[in-house]
Amino acid sequence: MEKLVIEGGKPLSGNVRIHGAKNAALPILAACTMAEGVHRIGNVPDLLDIHVMLDILRALGCKAELKDDVVSLETSSAQSSHIPEELMRQMRSSIFLMGPLLSRFGHVQVYQPGGCAIGERKIDLHLKGLQALGAKIEESGNTIKCSVDRLRGTDITLDFPSVGATENIMMAAALAEGVTTISNAAREPEIQDLQNFLNAMGAKMIGAGTDTITIEGVERLTPRAYRVIPDRIVTGTLMVAAAATRGSVTLENVCPAHLTSVIHVLKRAGVQIVASDDIIHVSNSSRPRAVERIVTSPHPSFPTDLQAQLMVLLALADGISVVKETVFEGRFKHVDELSRMGADVRVDLNSAFIRGVPRLYGATVEATDLRAGAALVIAGLAAAGTTIVEQIHHIDRGYDQIEIMFSRLGAKIERFSPVRHLKVP
């Protein structure tokens, strides 16, 4: 397996451009199947998850190509609504295709999706939403079959503001008969991006970004060229990395409005942040301050996807910080790995108590999931000595060549692949 080798202790410095948002691109690519024709989606990151989604679309009969951050997708040739199980196991976001395929073909067969092991991530809200729209759901073991004669609009109230369920229902309802209202909807920027894309194709929906989304179903959608929003989690990761290494970094192609809670927490830690238009400058020349209490929660609160990265900064802070994780119960797996590097963190149920230490030390650690892996890279950049991060395929799911991104900021980080010895006959 590939690994990253990091020589730490050097402040990050310079400019870097943020790539498009994976969590916006994936549902938008799924939504493309609802409109027959040629789609061109720009600012798409070159990530493992994106390639899995493109493989799924090809398996359905679409023609798909990613070149220079643009996906060209021909959906007229799609014939199948059966997503291969081996591909679904590789990526949880494959579940986004349920709503679009159901609305186009009237039936879809999927399997329980895979993804990072960060705790229980049920898809019951997806299924309940589609059932409310008129779909018949049949579950047998790991297989899920959905069928419908005609999707019909209705009022749906989510038990939890799930991003995936909100997006799946939005896509299905776009072509349903009548009006659908989603209450307690997720409010993430990626949902606003999906609404903007669907409306560009001819859908009629309002309310994304609030807790109530209203969709008036239309007869058909038409392909449109579209550009995905910047990745706020990658942006936040780099902001934390700049602060943890006591560096000075300018981030371009960003949306500061998507990072209000992150900016607020980092400023509480003493980090200097200047934001304007599509640029954020982050600098920190001294030891960060502890932050008394941070609670992860759905947008616009502090994102769970940046909890692990922030913990690295707090592990180096002066004082004791408390982080409460309310979204995924399995999202503290990075704590043991950070402890190998000298961090002082105690976990009690869904809260982590972090006593800051003067410095971290290089060690061999393992990325247990996507965001934990990013956190360990930050820790390696800030630590004294050499850090080796293993199982980096997790990181590749959400960061486009993370070693190159940090190298552009002066980091000493390299990717190494295992040497394969060929047998001599």
Catalytic residues: 116
The answer to whether the bond into 298 is cis (omega within 30° of 0) is no
Contact present, 126 and 164 (Cβ < 8 Å): yes
Which secondary-structure segment (H or E) carries 126?
Answer: helix 124-132
| CB within 8 Å of 57: residues ≥ 6 apart | 29, 32, 33, 64, 73, 75, 78
Alpha-carbon distances, residue 49 vs 236, 275, 394 (angstroms) = 20, 30, 10
Contact present, 46 and 5 (Cβ < 8 Å): no
Contact present, 284 and 246 (Cβ < 8 Å): yes
Centre a 10 Å sphere on the Cβ of residue 230 and count the other Cβ atoms it contains.
23
Tokens 């790539």, residue located: 19
Contact present, 273 and 318 (Cβ < 8 Å): no
Tokens of 313: 């900064």
Contact present, 241 and 261 (Cβ < 8 Å): no
Tell me: is residue 305 an annotated ligand-binding position.
yes
**Could you tell me which residues are beta bridge partners of residue 226?**
41
- Residues constituting the chain: 425
- Rounded (10°) CA dihedral 211, 267, 406, 343: -100
Tell me: is residue 23 an annotated ligand-binding position.
yes
Binding residues for UDP-N-acetyl-alpha-D-glucosamine: 92, 305, 327
Could you tell me which residues are annotated as the binding site? 22-23, 92, 305, 327
